Amino acid sequence: MKTSASGKTKMKEIYAPNQKVKAGVYIIAAFLVILYLLPIYVMLNQSFRYVTDLTPRLYLPEKWTLENYIEAFTSSSLIGSFKNSIVLVAEVCAVEIVLGGIAAYGLARAGGKVSTTLRTFNICIMMIPSLSLLVGTYSLMVKFHMVNKIWALALQTAAIGMSSTMFFYTSFIISIPKDLDEAAAIDGAGIFRTFFTIILPQLKPITVTRLIMIAVGAWNSYAMPSYLLTDTSKSTVILTVRKAFYTAYGAVQNVPLACAMCAVALLPVILLYILLQRYIIEGQLDSVSK
């Protein structure tokens, strides 16, 4: 996490702050932290209320309660939906990384007109919002009984994200000198051995970054899952939480319970984020500076 000592002194020379500036820096830092933690505060603040507590949302609850958390854990389908989300994320990551990585290797190394055309095509695909094809995708998936099947949603999600993954991998592999491949080829390595011995080890940083992006995207995806996973027992965490915020006609909306479910749903994500920050933030930094 820490920049090297020499880097620090170098930076200090340029951005050497005096005391007054330093106080200003901390004020800004505090402001930013508050600004970015505000939604979390609003969520937690409401999650500890009774549903009858109508005090303004800025202020702390009149009376604190853990009732909502107990309910979120026991009576809601939230816990079960964690399993579905994990399965979905794992499947999407596996399909996208494996197929995307291999395809990118082929495209990057093949060269020539076909490869260029395919890559151009791929970049065009990358820009398409998946919902523009909603009617087409949805009615087809209904026709072929791919509704309420997590694997089908995983394939669909992976297909939508495939072009980005291929794009990033292709750019990355192109930046790996071809000499290495050629040296391996001279040693008698085939295409696959070259891939596994030369290319794959180098792909680690981009793979970590892509994995994180794909996983976060799949975990948080909402639109397609909401149409394709209508069976409650198949619902993902996001769908379950979204449902908690919605009430059927005439029902009392239990905002505190919904917020408690939000908190429970976010907890693992935020914990993982803090635990893996080295990979997420530093990995991101590394992959960009390549």
Partner 1 sequence: MKKKWARTTAVFCLAVSSLMLSACGSGTSAETTAAAADTEASSGSEAAEESSEGEASGTTDFSGREIEIATYLTGDTLAAYKEVIAGFESETGVKVTLDEYGEDYENTMKIRMASNDLPDVFETHGWSLIRYKEYLTDLSGEEWADDLNDAALGVIQDTDGKIYTLMTTGSCLGTAVNMDVCEAAGVDPWAIETWDDFNEACDKIKAAGYTPIANYFTSAGALANADGSWLSYEGAVYNDNEAILNGTWDWADFKTILDYLQTWFDNGYLYEDCGTIGQTDAIERCARNECAFIVGIGTSYQTAVVALNPDVTMAMIPICASQEGGARFCGIGEGASFGIWKDTEEMDVCKAFLNYVAENADGINAAAGEISTLPSETTKSYGMQMMEEMESHYPDVFYDNLWDRKYMPAGMWSIFEVAAGMFCEDQSEESKQEIIEYLRENYQDLYAAAQEEG
Partner 2 sequence: MDKRKKGILLSLSIPAFLLIFIFMIVPLGNALRVSFFKWNGFSQNMRFIGLENYLSLFSDKVFWRSTANTFVYGFGSTLLQNIFGLSAALFVNKQFKGRNFVRLILYMPIMISGVIMGAIQYYIFSYDNGVLNNFLNLFGIEDIYWMKSGVGSVLIITLINSWQAMGFCMLIYLAGLQNIPKMYQEAARLDGASKWQAFFKVDIPLLMPAITTAVITNLIGGFKLYDIIVTLTNGGPNRKSLSLSYYISLLYFNDEKAGYSSAVGIALFVIIFIVAVPINRYLRSKEVEF
Site for partner 1 in 29-68 (CB under 8 A): 51-52, 54
Q: Which of 23, 221, 69 has its CA nearest to residue 130?
A: 221
Least separation in angstroms between CB 233 and partner 1? 7
Of residues 80, 50, 35, 60, the one with CA closest to residue 264:
80
**Residue 5 binds: one of partner 1, partner 2, none (C-beta under 5 to 8 A by kind):** none
Output DSSP code: residue 4. P
Contact 213, 279 (CB under 8 A): no
Residues 255-274 that bind partner 2 (CB under 8 A): 255, 258-259, 262, 265-266, 269-270, 273-274
C-alpha span between 165 and 103 (Å, rounded): 10
Tell the smallest beta-carbon distance from residue 138 to partner 1 (Å).
8
Task: Classify residue 77 by its DSSP letter.
Answer: S
Q: How far is the CB of 242 from partner 1 (least distance, A)?
A: 8
Cβ-based nearer residue to partner 2, 3 or 75: 3
Question: What are φ and ψ of residue 27, in 5° steps?
Answer: -65, -45
Q: Which string of x and - marks every residue 4-33 that binds partner 2 (by CB under 8 A)?
A: ---xx-xxxxxx-x----x--xx-xx--xx
Alpha-carbon Rg of the chain, whole angstroms? 24
- Smallest gap from Cβ 64 to partner 2, in A, equals 18
Do residues 237 and 78 make contact, with C-beta atoms less than 8 angstroms apart? yes
- How far apart CA 5 and CA 139 sit, in angstroms, is 60
Q: Are 239 and 225 in contact (CB under 8 A)?
A: yes
Alpha-carbon distance 157 to 162, whole Å? 8
Binding partner 1 by CB under 8 A: which of 90, 247, 270, 275?
A: 247
Interface with partner 1 in residues 200-229 (CB under 8 A): 226-227
From the list partner 1, partner 2, none, pick the one residue 186 interacts with, judged by a Cβ distance below 5 to 8 Å according to partner type. none
Binding mask 157-196 for partner 2 (x = CB under 8 A): -xxx-xxx-x---xx--xx---------------x-----
**Could you say whether residue 238 binds partner 1 (CB under 8 A)?**
no
- Please identify, using beta-carbon distances, which residue of 49 and 109 lies nearer to partner 1: 49
- The one-letter code for the residue type at 187 is D
Of residues 137 through 156, those in contact with partner 1 by CB under 8 A are 138-139, 142-143, 145, 147
User: What secondary structure letter does DSSP report for 251?
Assistant: P
- Rounded to 5°, the CA angle 169-101-273 comes to 75
Stretch of residues binding partner 2 (CB under 8 A), selected from 69-77, 86-94, 196-204, 237-245? 237-245
Instruction: Find the DSSP H helices in 111-188.
Output: 112-127, 134-143, 150-174, 178-186
Binding mask 88-127 for partner 1 (x = CB under 8 A): ----------------------------------------
